[in-house]
Amino acid sequence: MSVQDLKEDLTGNLVKALNSRRRNQDEISFVLEAFDFAFKNHIQQKRKSGEPYIVHPVAVALSLIELNCDKESVCAALLHDVVEDTGASHEDLRDIFGETVADIVDGVTKLSKLNFKSSEEEQASNFRKMLLAIAKDVRVVLVKLADRLHNMQTLNYLKKEKQQRISRETLDVFAPLANRFGLRNIQIELEDLCLKYLHSDEYSAIKDLVKSKRHEREAQIQKLKIVIKQVLDDSSIKAEIQGRAKHFFSIFAKLKQKEIQIIEDKLDEELPIYDLLGIRVLVDSVKDCYAALGVIHETFRPMPGRFKDYIALPKSNMYQSLHTTVIIPWDKRPLEVQIRTYEMHEVAEHGIAAHWHYKESHVPSSAKLGDAEELKWLKQLVSWHTDVSEAKEYYSGVKNDVLAQEVYILSPKGDVIALPQGSTPVDFAYKIHTRIGDTCTGAKVNEKMVSINYKLQNGDMVEIITNKNNHPNLSWLNFVKTHQAKYRIKSWYKKQNKERHIVLGEQMFADHFGKAKADEILKSEELLKISQKLNHKSLQDLLAAVGSGDQSLAQIEHKLNAVKAPTKEDNIEQLQKFKTRKAPAKGDMADIPELDGLLYSIAKCCMPIPGEAVIGVISKGKGITIHRADCYNVKQVEPERLMNINWKNKERKTYPAKINIEVVDRIGMVKDILTLIADGGFNIRDFKVTERPTKTTALLKVTIDIGSVEELKFLTNKMLNLSDVLQVERL
């Protein structure tokens, strides 16, 4: 196909889709202008499949047209990759298509031009940027989800490893995100595609079973539709009855829950036809929903404990419906039934795209998005952004709290609070207010006293009992579910120990730099500026962060040295003098390129590892000793004995690293730490439990073989993800 034929073909598809939604000529012209811009910028690019790249943004735009999104969303879909993948800029989009379109594209664009220490950090930072953009304009999520959907639909052209990595990310983040915004059709297709690439054998077995039972399923649906339609007509309830086939992933999850082995030749006998279908009843009003429920329960025996009222207690994604499971009289099989109004059905199918309408001025019609009652959880994203500095911690918190499956809890005032499954009264208390959580002493659930680690259930009414003299207990970290609760408990603990941490921070400065030098640094303007750049409001906060282990002295030292670091030329004369005294080499010559052919060794006092800033200390007759740049002993050395050196990237070699780990003192804690280290493939040289800082905490000292500073950071982050680990510090 020629370039011109391709352009005409894609233009025709867009116009046809827009006309089917009765878009006016001004809107069509605006969209086609965006298409022309995207076509011009992408025309030389190809996808992994070999097809022209422009096919992808057009597919994303067509998905948004199908969702009946506004023209700005459709244009942003067409342009969503031009800033990231072509020479176009944000300013170009703003000047041609307006601020709104440019901002939506910016919200979708990855942070790929920045330098990240790891792929995990890059993923977390991109996720954080996207979510904050969504909080500003919900249309960002529509473009992003349509983009991910088309990428998943064409995933077969990538290598298996990449297919699985993208599918895992999609299942962890983007499918739950689609659910959060009520985009059920997108959620279903994403989940089924993820199942195809993550569990291909199970996917094939379920697909074949569903296909083989198609005629039987359709016959059962038709029979049930006739019976239900008749009993509703007899009660003068106008209703439309639909069959509802379950998607592959929901069948997979149900089989896993029942611990049924998914083997093709056994599925047929294990999975009844009624596990493959459901019935949906659509009526005109809420009153008819409850009337229809009564009629269906009179006709079919309801199963106890299988009724959910999402009309009175809507889900946080605006979903409303009545759910019930009944027994079919003629063969005693269970059948799932959903009852909702047509308006509820539209929201259930298209979520925020159906619910949210824009004026001609392109501003949300009822209120600013951040003030929308149905999407108030988005405010939590902004709140966490200001509270949590680490992108990966933010990413983890949103995944575990916002995107997890939920239970819906009632406050004594009748407010509905959504919490992740497995949450406790303490999680509920912190969700209401930090002060309520900090002073929680007990809880009543449905007017009965329960323990504070009780697992809350859908529809529970919770009343928190407080005492102004109470404070959080570190043992709560063993059972709270939400990131918010864990963060607030740890924050209270750190705040109460701030004075002790300040004193400890001052001592660490003195030990690190020497008393006189530390006093000089603490009074300097440079340290104050560095403190502010590191997001500490004052020097006291900086000292407390150092004392608590949240702030590395090495990072502070590095920034101080950056102000007055010696140049390579400053050291050249020193290096030339030393090169005349070559001796047999110690260690691996490839580790430090500058020391090739020279006698050197690794300092035992600070034990540097590849990736850390290092410096060489020249010793008479002993060659060069490699220290960490922030090593206390280096501060005592005359400047003329120092030389700048760097590690060389090479094949993996390990070096010992000492780590202090402060933990909640409980049975099994040591085992959890040792298992985590061993599972990561790290060798433990030494391990011991030393003094206990408080009655409830313990201090573990570990020496581990580490290959690089990136490995050390990876291991440190894994440890900090354990709820009972309070802080980890490199010695």
Q: Closest by alpha carbon to 576, among 529, 636, 618? A: 618
Query: For 105, left (φ over 0), alpha (ψ -120 to 50), or beta?
Result: alpha
Distances (CA, A) of 588 to 178, 447, 584, 595, 690: 52, 70, 11, 10, 34
- Residue 10: CB atoms within 10 A of its CB come to 21
Taking the C-alpha atoms of residue 142 and residue 71, their distance in angstroms, rounded to an integer, is 13
Could you report the per-residue pLDDT of 5-58, keeping only the tens digit for each? 999 999 999 999 999 988 899 999 999 999 999 999 998 899 888 899 999 999
**CATH numbers and ranges of domains, the chain:** 3-203 (1.10.3210.10), 210-353 (3.30.460.10), 404-495 (3.10.20.30), 497-563 (no CATH), 568-644 (no CATH), 655-730 (3.30.70.260)
What mean pLDDT do residues 284-292 have?
A: 95
What mean pLDDT do residues 376-389 have?
A: 55
Per-residue pLDDT for 497 more than 80?
A: no
| Whether the Cβ atoms of residue 656 and residue 607 lie closer than 8 Å to each other | yes
Residue 300, token pair as written in the block: 């079919």
- Which one of 27, 33, 84, 705 is the catalytic residue? 84
Q: What is the pLDDT of residue 725?
A: 79
Q: What is the pLDDT of residue 590?
A: 43
**At 644, phi and psi to the nearest 5?**
-75, 130
Q: Which residues sit opposite 624 in a β-bridge?
A: 600, 618
What mean pLDDT do residues 451-471 have?
A: 89
User: For the purposes of burial, counting CB atoms within 10 Å of the CB of 731, is it exposed (0-12), middle (13-18) or buried (19 or more)?
Assistant: exposed
Q: Which of 194-203, 510-519, 671-680, 718-727 has the highest mean pLDDT?
A: 194-203
Beta-strand (E) ranges in 248-405? Answer: 277-283, 301-302, 308-309, 322-327, 334-341
Q: What is the pLDDT of residue 376?
A: 58
Residue with the bigger pLDDT between 592 and 576: it is 592
User: For the purposes of burial, counting CB atoms within 10 Å of the CB of 335, is it exposed (0-12), middle (13-18) or buried (19 or more)?
Assistant: buried
Per-residue pLDDT for 701 more than 80?
A: yes
Could you report the per-residue pLDDT of 106-124, keeping only the tens digit for each? 888 754 443 444 455 556 6
Q: Is 84 known to be catalytic?
A: yes
Q: Is 85 known to be catalytic?
A: yes
pTM summary value: 0.56
Listed range (25-39, 61-75, 386-400, 651-665) with the worst mean pLDDT: 386-400
| Whether the Cβ atoms of residue 433 and residue 404 lie closer than 8 Å to each other | no
Written as one string, the DSSP assignment of 52-91 is BTTHHHHHHHHHHHHTT--HHHHHHHHHTTHHHHSS--HH
Listed range (108-112, 415-419, 450-454, 527-531) with the worst mean pLDDT: 108-112
Taking the C-alpha atoms of residue 435 and residue 379, their distance in angstroms, rounded to an integer, is 19
Q: What is the pLDDT of residue 437?
A: 92
Indicate the SS3 state at residue 241: strand
Q: Which residues contact 712 (CB under 8 A, 6 or more apart)?
A: 609, 611, 657, 706, 730
What mean pLDDT do residues 131-139 have?
A: 74
Q: What is the pLDDT of residue 36?
A: 95
Per-residue pLDDT for 586 more than 50?
A: no
Residue with the bigger pLDDT between 525 and 26: it is 26
Q: Which residues sit opposite 464 in a β-bridge?
A: 443
Q: What is the pLDDT of residue 574?
A: 45
Residue with the bigger pLDDT between 719 and 272: it is 719
Listed range (152-166, 210-224, 452-466) with the worst mean pLDDT: 210-224
Query: ∠85-82-134 over CA atoms, to 5°?
Result: 105
Q: Which of 26-35, 418-427, 520-529, 637-646 has the highest mean pLDDT?
A: 26-35
% of the chain at pLDDT higher than 90: 26
Handedness of CA 513, 517, 522, 526 (dihedral sign): negative
Q: Closest by alpha carbon to 448, among 439, 457, 438? A: 457
- Residue 263: CB atoms within 10 A of its CB come to 11
- Which one of 27, 85, 122, 169 is the catalytic residue? 85
Q: What is the pLDDT of residue 287?
A: 95
Beta-strand (E) ranges in 298-436? Answer: 301-302, 308-309, 322-327, 334-341, 406-410, 416-420
Q: Kindly report the average pLDDT of the chain as a whole number.
A: 79
Taking the C-alpha atoms of residue 209 and residue 277, their distance in angstroms, rounded to an integer, is 13
